[in-house]
Structure 1
């Protein structure tokens, strides 16, 4: 079941990965001044500095979602599952024969991550990632158990994108994986639920009222996703333009001795226009 008239989601299956993070990113991005024509020409980055971490987080959730969506038809995968009363959400919920999982994603690409016990550091700095993942699993267990009328374990999983992921002698308090490991890890576990139980738990999990006090929210539309994708295209276009202009300056540097300033401007213009 998808979206009702007016954009209200009746189940969580229609939720896109990173939805809540996208909303926060766009709310901050709305304060960014519009770029001038000159800034566009030179490939000025349109992303507001304060929105950068949210943008990176949304990209990370989307990357992990692709791995989870490939699990197969016996698994139900839900994204950006709203919990509680406010805007808090669980990045991904997976229901399948090997169990139910709450998956927290962290995009620390380009950084060094260390995990051990209840500690996770990024470039040597302690974070609350492990504690929050534990709390998230406990909360999801309580909510799904209440909906099912009996104890249902939701196992927390932390998926971390990083340039380097190292582990201490003590195993992490929460299973910690790289994005390319999560699918094989979930499918490699022993069976925990019968097919009938999986169908029942999946039905409960996709109902918004299982997790959130508001059964239906009218502003859950694809508009935010489309706006985010437009922002992403603008960022990519600016990045490509900067790269082209850098190449233009290199070519111009070679042309200056032979053709002077005329060669410089011609080369820059040619590269910028893709000639």
Structure 2
């Protein structure tokens, strides 16, 4: 059975994305020429979620060797997972990543709103942290406190009207600076003990199964990301060509 240290950021979301895409029809040759989006309406939210987790995972890779970082940790008895678990001298943290690119986010207490719509990100992150604390305490034989964090990826803006109640709320740009500013609260042996049990699948999941090859999943996601980016570039080129054609007809036509 694989330990959790080998899992890649967004692994569970990417696996679900690939599962959904198996049901999607292939883009036609003409569609590819004109830059048709290879993602269906059902696949798009999974893709955005994966982008967010991958982006945060890349940031967390910059933490020093004194930190243990786990990604996409399966928890419970079903298919739920924790996006990221961090264990280091400043403590233990669970991170709930939310990709709200170019959207306005407003926070007050336990209320978090995205583009005016209330979301349950803070209560969910608080529940996730409490659950992780119980599981790690049971596995390590010592009380483990876990802090929940909501990381909002690339928002248009983040307004904190009142201090969040139950979980810290940060943008992806603020995350590393905040983590590096925290004071140590755990000794080296405590970090090692908690990290050791955190890496074992049975600490988190009642019936952990064999995981999909993370390297293969990452390769498939990177290939899909390239495909999505190329399609977007083609659409932009067609828009530019249409604009130049219109400009030529309107402004240069009289001279020919």
Q: What is the aligned counterpart of 1:38 among 15, 30, 45?
A: 30
Could you list the structure 1 runs, at least 4 aligned residues long, displaced by more than 6 angstroms after superposition.
257-260
Structure 1, gaps ≥5 residues long: 1-8, 261-275
Determine the C-alpha separation between the residues in 1 that align with 2:166 and 2:190: 27
Determine the C-alpha separation between the residues in 1 that align with 2:58 and 2:248: 46
**Matched residue count:** 253
Displacement, 1:159?
0.6
1:15 aligns with 2:3: no
If the length of structure 2 is used for normalisation, what is the TM-score? 0.92
1:117 aligns with 2:92: no
Determine the C-alpha separation between the residues in 1 that align with 2:138 and 2:237: 57
Displacement, 1:175?
0.7
Determine the C-alpha separation between the residues in 2 that align with 1:61 and 1:207: 21
Q: 1:98 is matched with which residue?
A: 90
Q: 2:144 is matched with which residue?
A: 152
In 2, are the aligned partners of 1:116 and 1:173 still within 8 Å (CA)? no
1:25 aligns with 2:50: no
Over 3 Å counting, the alpha-carbon distance change for 1:18 and 1:218 in structure 2 is: closer
Determine the C-alpha separation between the residues in 1 that align with 2:211 and 2:158: 40
Displacement, 1:171?
3.6
Displacement, 1:40?
0.6
Q: 2:162 is matched with which residue?
A: 169
1:136 aligns with 2:101: no
In 2, are the aligned partners of 1:159 and 1:176 still within 8 Å (CA)? yes
1:244 aligns with 2:240: no
Structure 2, gaps ≥5 residues long: none
Over 3 Å counting, the alpha-carbon distance change for 1:178 and 1:218 in structure 2 is: closer
* SS at structure 2 position matched to 1:180: helix
Q: 1:6 is matched with which residue?
A: none
If the length of structure 1 is used for normalisation, what is the TM-score? 0.86
1:193 aligns with 2:186: yes
Determine the C-alpha separation between the residues in 2 that align with 1:16 and 1:111: 26
Q: 2:223 is matched with which residue?
A: 230
Displacement, 1:65?
1.1
Determine the C-alpha separation between the residues in 1 that align with 2:28 and 2:213: 32
